[in-house]
Each structure stands twice: as C-alpha cells, then as structure tokens.
Amino acid sequence: MSLQISEKNEVFYLNGKINFETTTFFKKYFVKLNKEKIVINIENVKQIDKEGLKAILVLINLANRNNKLFSITGYGCKEIYDYFDQMNVA
C-alpha cells in the first residue's frame, strides 16, 4: 500500500504506510509546502517503520529550525511523541 495525503481544513490526512518505500514522497511533500503550521493526522496510517520515524523527525527538526509548527494527531501520535521523548532527539 502506498501513502496518500489529502488536506481538509488545514489538516493533512495520511492514509497508508510511512515506511522505506514512501518516506521520500512523504518528506518531499511536506518540505515543499510553504506553511507556518503543518498538522498531520495519522489515524489511517497502517504502519510506520524505522525509516518513517526518521522522516517524521526530519520534518519536526526542519519545522523547529524555521520556527514553524509541526504536529501529529490521531491514534498513535502519543506513542510517536513518547518515542522521540525517550530517545531525547526532538
């Protein structure tokens, strides 16, 4: 399954997998956006592998460097934040 991204009311809804096959598309999609705030909803993401987590971290760090907001909502987002907090990388 690929990754599909749609936008509604300034929230980006992801459907599919964030893994080694989709991370290039995932990062490019959000890096090219010129927005002050990016909110992604992962409610319909079926899998996030190690490469997917790295891609999310890249986007978080890029947003931080540019004083922009990057946030994740949906079932599973707390686990992602906890993972980065435990790794002390974000």
Interhelix angle 77-87/50-65, nearest 10 degrees? 80
Residues 72, 56: Cα–Cα separation, whole Å? 9
pLDDT digits (tens, 9 = 90+) for 58-76: 999 999 999 999 999 999 8
pTM value is 0.88
pLDDT digits (tens, 9 = 90+) for 16-52: 999 999 999 999 999 999 899 999 999 999 999 999 9
